[in-house]
Amino acid sequence: MVVSRRILCGTALAFLVLPAQASDAAKFVEVLADKVVELVKSRTGAERQAGFQEIMQASFDLPYMGRSALGTHWGRASEEQRSRFLKAAESAESKAYSERFGSYAGQTMAIGKVSPRGGGVIMVESSINQSSGPPIRVEWELQDRGAGLRVTDVRVEGVSMVMTRRSDFNAYIQRNGGDVEVLIKELESRAAR
């Protein structure tokens, strides 16, 4: 029942997506990955972090991702809290990314299937091939929410960055009195470190 519906939806949507849109999405991910490689090869430390922040601002829909990651708490946060949260989360993520990629070790990325999902979401599959070990599956969730294509989530081996953050943030808020302010303060103090 569920299975057949999934097949039906998939088939119906496959006809709706224009080939141009699919190749745009693939191209977008390709360009993004090239930018990241270039950055990691040429910059280190604070410069690299600033570079990551720039790339993320340009290619990621950060407000949308932040809102998803905060879940129900977004609605309860004030305008001022929201913008502080986004700022702190953005610098935390760019810092995490710049530290994650130590030095470039010649990995290559191959773009795989591009498939549309409901609600204007396009998934671009890719695999990162390393010199040793099996390739890593990375899926890029893209959406055009008015400002052109943007990344709205990254899934590594099926683990969504946004969903993991949402669990993480929600648990933290709930265990610390249910006020979003505590999380924002924590993220801000981490960003300042």
Residues that bind other proteins (CB under 8 A): 3, 6-7, 26, 30, 33-34, 36-37, 40, 92, 96, 100-102, 104-111, 128, 130, 132-134, 136-138, 155-160, 163-164, 166-172, 174-175, 183, 186-187
The minimum distance between CB 139 and other proteins, in angstroms, equals 9
Cβ neighbour number for residue 179 with a 10 Å cutoff: 15
The smaller minimum CB distance to other proteins, of residues 143 and 170, is found at: 170
DSSP state of 177: T
The minimum distance between CB 4 and other proteins, in angstroms, equals 9
The minimum distance between CB 170 and other proteins, in angstroms, equals 5
Tokens of 48: 């690299």
CA angle at 61 for the pair 154 and 11, rounded to the nearest 5°:
60
Q: How many angstroms separate the Cα of 1 from the Cα of each of 10, 45, 71, 104, 117?
A: 14, 52, 30, 47, 19
The smaller minimum CB distance to other proteins, of residues 50 and 128, is found at: 128
Phi, psi of 62 (to 5 degrees): -65, -40
The smaller minimum CB distance to other proteins, of residues 129 and 145, is found at: 129
**Closest Cα to residue 37, out of 86, 99, 95, 109?**
109
The minimum distance between CB 167 and other proteins, in angstroms, equals 4
The smaller minimum CB distance to other proteins, of residues 21 and 170, is found at: 170
DSSP state of 60: B
